[in-house]
Amino acid sequence: MMQNKPVVGITMGDAAGVGPEIILKSLAHKELYEISKPIVIGDSKMLERAKSFVNSHLAIQVIAVDDLEHLSFQFGTVYCLDLDLLPADLTIGEVSAEAGHAAYEYLATAIELAKDHKIDAICTAPLNKEALQKGGHPYPGHTEILADLTNTADFSMMLSAPNLKVIHVTTHVGIIDAVNMIHPERVYHVIKLAHDTLQKAGNHSPKIAVCGINPHAGENGLFGYGEEEEKVIPGVLKAQSEGMNVVGPLPADTLFFRAVRGDFDIVVAMYHDQGHSPVKVLGLDTGVNITVGLPIIRTSVDHGTAFDIAGKGIADEKSLIEAMRQAVELAPKK
């Protein structure tokens, strides 16, 4: 059992989705209490309702609390910092302004607790973008709320799967736009984000590998138009000059195999599919989304609210369990 276990705030997300049930299912795994002190931030009545449609053998007691003092965090007991925002008869599986507003408030509360060092990391269950906006909060999703409420201008997406972490230079843009957006300073900055994130988690000299843009990382000009030399290598050299343990650009077709094998702690991908595809191949149910560059640690499931199966008790908790593990791994060490 770990000493000085981090306190992880689990935000309920959109309570009309699968959030409450995957939280209960996850906290029925004793391992999470062995590595962390979990506290749910949401509505306790939504957890109580979820107990009625998850497996009946889960011997879980939900306890509503109004602060984080003097909690024992014993397996079998789920503490919920109860904001009491939703009606007991909230319709499951439908977009709701009430649930969207509540999801925002759960996250805003968790952010304040993290900023005040009352929790060590945030792990988020999914929210619904349409409900969020109907609830009066015009954000695309969790990441933008986190950035806004922590006054963070520069951040990046990191994906994590068993034995592989990937951080992206560009994400949700077309391939031509992605290549145009890659430049040495951005490459350097993402390398530094990766380095600083893993260093804060206790890895004093993380091994970082950087993907090329072209097949075979350009192979000395045989492929492409010198993008590696112009856009990537100067950023890598700058990071190396500051003492970071980074290599590249390397061919992506073999780099991810080497990273999974253990040669590297994290891979810097140049564009969305270059980084996402290997993570998805390793398992959709164990992928975790991590926002780096924030002053606080935040991990998330890599799936949505799944309104179509909400309330049926069949939602899979594996991604949330992995997100909790990653929150513990990345939380500042005491």
Domain harbouring 266, CATH code: 3.40.718.10
Q: Is residue 227's pLDDT more than 70?
A: yes
Q: Rounded to two decimals, what is the model's pTM?
A: 0.82
* Residue 288 resides in a domain: no
Q: Are residues 190 and 313 in the same domain?
A: no
| Residue 287 falls inside a structural domain | no
Sign of the torsion formed by the C-alpha atoms of 140, 132, 283 and 36 = positive
Beta bridge partners of 285: none
> Which is nearest to 118 in space by CA: 41, 42, 47?
41
Residues 315, 180 within the same domain? no
Domain that holds residue 68: 7-152+294-330
Q: Do 111 and 211 share a domain, yes or no?
A: no
Cα(222)–Cα(214) distance, rounded to whole angstroms?
Answer: 10
Does residue 306 lie within any of the structural domains?
yes
In this structure, are 93 and 186 located in the same domain?
A: no
Q: 74 and 143 share a domain?
A: yes
Same domain, 267 and 139: no
Is 178 inside a domain boundary? Answer: yes
264-300 pLDDT per residue, tens:
999 999 998 999 889 888 876 677 888 888 999 999 9
Residue 2 lies inside a defined structural domain of this protein = no
Q: How confident is the model at residue 334 (pLDDT cuts 50, 70, 90)?
A: low
**Residue 263's pLDDT band (cuts 50, 70, 90):** very high
Question: Are 113 and 213 found together in one domain?
Answer: no
In this structure, the answer to whether residues 167 and 269 fall within a common structural domain is yes
Instruction: Using alpha carbons only, give the angle 18, 22, 25 rounded to the nearest 5 degrees.
Output: 145
pLDDT digits (tens, 9 = 90+) for 97-152: 999 999 999 999 999 999 999 999 999 999 999 999 999 999 878 888 999 999 99
Predicted confidence at residue 1, as pLDDT, reads 43
111/297 Cα distance (integer angstroms):
10
Instruction: Judge if 236 and 166 occupy the same domain.
Output: yes
Residue 245 has pLDDT above 60, yes or no: yes
Residues 71 and 105 occupy one common structural domain = yes
169-200 pLDDT, tens per residue? Answer: 988 788 899 999 999 999 999 999 999 988 98
How many structural domains comprise the chain? 2
Residue 251 lies inside a defined structural domain of this protein: yes
258 domain-assigned: yes
